[in-house]
Each structure stands twice: as C-alpha cells, then as structure tokens.
Amino acid sequence: MTPQDLMDIARDHLGEFPLSEPDLTAGSVAAALLTAAGNVYTGICLDIHCGIGFCAEHAAAAEMLKHHETQIVMVVAVHNKGVLPPCGRCRELFMQLDSRNSECRVVLSEDHTLPLKELLPHGWRAAKAAL
C-alpha cells in the first residue's frame, strides 16, 4: 500500500459535521493506519468542549486494538487542506502501544514519510528511564 492509497482511504471518512451545538463537531480530521497484518483501520476526530474530544489517530488506534493488533506500519491524518502530522499525544500513544511502532512510517505528504522515531526522538518512556 502506498502513502497515497492510505491518504485516499482516510479522505473517504473526512467531512466535518455538527454535534449537539454548532461549535461541537466531528470529522474535520480523518486518519487511516496500516498494520503489520495488512489491515487498515480508520477514525475521525471529535472537537468538543472540556478537552474530552480526541484525535482521529486515537480513534483509528482504538479500532485497531479492538482487533487485538498493536503494530502500525504506516499512518496518515488528513483534513480539508491536506495532511497533518500526528500531535505529540498521538505520537506517544503509538509508541506506548507497541515499541516496534518507532519504525512506523508517518505520512507527511504523498511523497514524504518519516519513521515515528524521528518525529518523537525523546518520548515519554525514554525521559522516564533517564530519571
């Protein structure tokens, strides 16, 4: 599977829509991840008050975990203006799910990916171990 293929799958789930109030929305960001087993899982973000929303990558990871998989080969998040790199919280989540995810290819554009370990060179576990 190419980065473009994964981007296309994520885009299929993209589309912001309102929830109970106009400024509470879902779907402004969609994510897709490819696992070592060859499965693709998707998710959308929830933008809601009080910090209880979550990123599309978290939703995709939850779908993956429901199937008892932990190893991610490639991941992408998209919004209406293009690709978004995962936030620090998502990067750390992937690392804590499976240490092999340090090699996960993070799609930054159709022709550019980086391993997660380059986007999170000093993760929480590494900092904790140094104490």
**37 and 21 in contact (C-beta within 8 Å)?**
no
Q: What residue numbers bound the domain in which 10 lies?
A: 3-130
Model pTM above 0.85: yes
Q: Average pLDDT in the 21-49 region?
A: 96
Model pLDDT, residue 126: 60
- CATH number of the domain within which 54 lies: 3.40.140.10
Which of the residue ranges 3-7, 40-44, 126-130 would you say has the lowest mean pLDDT? 126-130
pLDDT at 125 over 90: no
CA 101 to mean position of chain CA atoms:
12
Give which of 28, 32, 54, 34 is closest to 42, Cα–Cα: 32
pLDDT tens profile 41-72: 999 999 999 889 999 999 999 999 999 999 99
